[in-house]
Amino acid sequence: MDSTAAWNALLEEFCSFGGTANNVIQREGNFGLGLFPIDSSQPVELRTPKHLLVSTDNLELLNGAVIIKDASSYPDRFSEWYTNFQPD
């Protein structure tokens, strides 16, 4: 899967959990990897609802991967998505 397709898959799943991501793409900029508008003449909408925010107290590093220690209060599959999202 190319990087654009992988990014779109991550965003689609993020939105399935209740997040919002419109008119935004990930790419390299002057300061490294970042988020940029797809169409700079249009507004960017990026929102993470409270039920998807993860406290740093609920995170751990396991074999180089950031994982959620207790995923019981998050939607199904969110913990796996979060771990896959972190390297990007």
Residue range 60-88: average pLDDT? 93
Output the pLDDT for position 33.
Answer: 85
For the entire predicted model, the pTM comes to 0.83
**Could you give the CA distance from residue 17 to residue 74 in angstroms, rounded to a whole number?**
9
Q: What is the pLDDT of residues 2-33, one digit of tens each?
A: 778 888 899 999 999 999 999 999 888 999 88
60 membership: H or E segment, kind and range? strand 59-62
Q: What is the pLDDT of residues 28-64, one digit of tens each?
A: 899 988 899 999 999 999 999 999 999 999 999 999 9
Q: What's the total number of domains in the chain?
A: 1
Output the pLDDT for position 1.
Answer: 61
**Could you give the CA distance from residue 20 to residue 48 in angstroms, rounded to a whole number?**
7
For residue 53, the enclosing domain spans: 3-85
Output the pLDDT for position 87.
Answer: 82
